[in-house]
Amino acid sequence: MVFSSITFLYYFLPVTLAVYFLMPMPNGSPRFRNTVLLLASLVFYAWGEPVYFFLLAFQCTSAWGFGLLIEKYRGRAGSRALMAAAVAICLSALLFFKYSDFFLENANSLFGTNVRLFGLALPIGVSFYTFQILSYIIDLYRGNTAVNKNVLEFSTYVTMFPQLIAGPIVRYSDVAEKLLKRGHSMKGFTLGIRRFVVGLGKKVLIANTMGEVVVLFKASGENSVLFAWLYVASFALQIYFDFSGYSDMAIGMGHMLGIEFLENFDYPYTAISITDFWRRWHKSLSSWFRDYVYIPLGGNRVPQAQYVFNMIVVWFLTGFWHGADWNFIFWGLYYAAILLVEKRFLSKLLDRLPRAFRRAYVILLVLIGWVLFDAAGMGAAGATILQMFGIGADSFAGMESTYYLRSYLVPLLIGVVACTRAPKMIAAKLLASRKVFTFLEPAALGAMLIMVTAYLVDGSYNPFIYFRF
């Protein structure tokens, strides 16, 4: 079940919210509402992934049990071993289901063997909930968060359906207080509805439309420069609005439930350096690798050779986290190389350039990165990148690329503008005139919901990229 579906929008979410708010909160305790949230989350997960439901349940109870042991033996012999065992068990499912075939396939190629691949489906959300559990175990061991002695409450944290299958990656320390006591208000609920509908519109009306261009490019035999640029621009918009829209919906539902999730995107395509870009894109993942990999390795407070090694390790893992294929690894190392060059040489030069040139530099490198990310293999990625610059292209523009550019120009321009702060600035100006905004906002949100519903009822193209991860 995805958020952008009729089943979720008009059945699951309304019923869940109705039952949730019917539950009492004695002395401000949300334990009854947490129970509803847990049950709804388990139904949500089992709906789309019944086979791996028990894997999720095992991961929750295992991490909870190890948490109790780590707390019990804190400061004593064996505490570190318990933490390591908990981390190993948590990672084992991710490594087995996501990477076993990758390692077997490469071993077969390297040694000329023919070991049969497992061919297992990837459990939905395993990359996200694994990292959430790891953050709890490691923070607990470090003494940065308190142990949770209630298995149902802890399971609620891990399985909360708004962020279960695609983030943002929520740390236990960020929501621990809200699991014990939280308030609800009409202001927070309406803010949540606004954020949810905007995210839904971003995902369905922009991301899905741009995704159609990506599919057309991959199915086409045209080898023109224009089509290559149209493809990569469309994919850049698709993945941004797909994932940021999903994050908006998750954050919006969090507001409805009285729980605040941290922001995950901050207009990354307006960044003025690649370093700045990664402070703005998928912030919960970037901060996770910073706090649990980069800083423990020594960060940048180490000799130069160690710093380079640390960066390579972090970005290798970042790429590999996204997918068990070489193009993801090279995508991660590509950014490691750029960030190292920025740190060592480019930062001072970039500081002297106009912001427009700095943004153009970021967009160019990010677009090349997205080709690596989306490619079926390194050969295909290289061919597309060369095609973008006219190398190996048959022409500058062909009949198909010209037709699709005209057909998708309006949504393409809307997507480009929506990547900037312009819509937010316009909304702020309208907000200054409360009488106008009071009427316009619900009308605009209602119209957007109607358009999304019509799109979904029509059975149009409705993928979700991050299901792959």
- pLDDT of 167 above 90: no
Question: What six digits make up the tokens of 70?
Answer: 């780590």
DSSP label at 262?
A: P
Same domain, 178 and 195: no
Q: Which helix (H) or strand (E) holds 88?
A: helix 79-94
DSSP label at 269?
A: G
Q: For 334-355, what is the mean pLDDT?
A: 92
Same domain, 243 and 104: no
- pLDDT of 141 above 90: yes
Same domain, 110 and 226: no
- pLDDT of 462 above 80: no
Amino acid 75: pLDDT: 82
Contact between residue 188 and residue 258 where contact means Cβ atoms under 8 Å apart: yes
Amino acid 439: pLDDT: 73
384-425: per-residue pLDDT in tens? 999 999 999 899 999 999 999 999 999 999 999 999 999 888
Same domain, 72 and 155: yes
Share of the chain above pLDDT 90, in %: 76
Same domain, 101 and 176: yes
pLDDT category at 318 given cuts 50, 70, 90 is very high
Same domain, 199 and 140: no
- In whole angstroms, what is the distance from residue 120 CA to residue 97 CA? 6
Amino acid 440: pLDDT: 78
Question: From the centroid of its chain, how far is CA 53?
Answer: 21
* The total number of structural domains that make up the chain: 2
Longest dimension (CA), the chain: 72
Same domain, 132 and 25: yes
Same domain, 142 and 194: no
Does 282 qualify as catalytic in the annotation?
no
Residue 46 lies inside a defined structural domain of this protein: yes
Same domain, 145 and 213: no
What is the value of pTM for the model shown?
A: 0.93
Q: Which of 184, 255, 282, 322 is an active site residue?
A: 322
Same domain, 238 and 203: yes
DSSP string, 355-395: HHHHHHHHHHHHHHHHHHHH-SSHHHHHHHHHHHTTTT-SB
Residue 277 lies inside a defined structural domain of this protein: yes
DSSP string, 290-354: IIIIIHHHTTTSS-HHHHHHHHHHHHHHHHHHH-SSHHHHHHHHHHHHHHHHIIIIIHHHHHHS-
Domain that holds residue 38: 6-183
Amino acid 314: pLDDT: 97
Amino acid 8: pLDDT: 93
pLDDT category at 460 given cuts 50, 70, 90 is low
Residue 1 lies inside a defined structural domain of this protein: no
End-of-domain residue from the set 136, 162, 183: 183
Q: Which is nearest to 388 in space by CA: 412, 406, 364, 362?
A: 364
215-270: per-residue pLDDT in tens? 999 999 889 999 999 999 999 999 999 999 999 999 999 999 999 999 999 999 99
By three-state DSSP, how is residue 74 classified? coil
End-of-domain residue from the set 167, 183, 199: 183
Amino acid 21: pLDDT: 96
261-295: per-residue pLDDT in tens? 999 999 999 999 999 999 999 999 999 999 999 99
Residue 161 lies inside a defined structural domain of this protein: yes
Same domain, 194 and 64: no
Question: What six digits make up the tokens of 322?
Answer: 């996204």
pLDDT category at 458 given cuts 50, 70, 90 is confident
- pLDDT of 111 above 60: yes
Q: Which is nearest to 377 in space by CA: 420, 435, 331, 441?
A: 331
Q: For 58-71, what is the mean pLDDT?
A: 96
pLDDT category at 364 given cuts 50, 70, 90 is very high
Same domain, 371 and 331: yes
370-387: per-residue pLDDT in tens? 999 999 889 999 999 999
- pLDDT of 195 above 90: yes
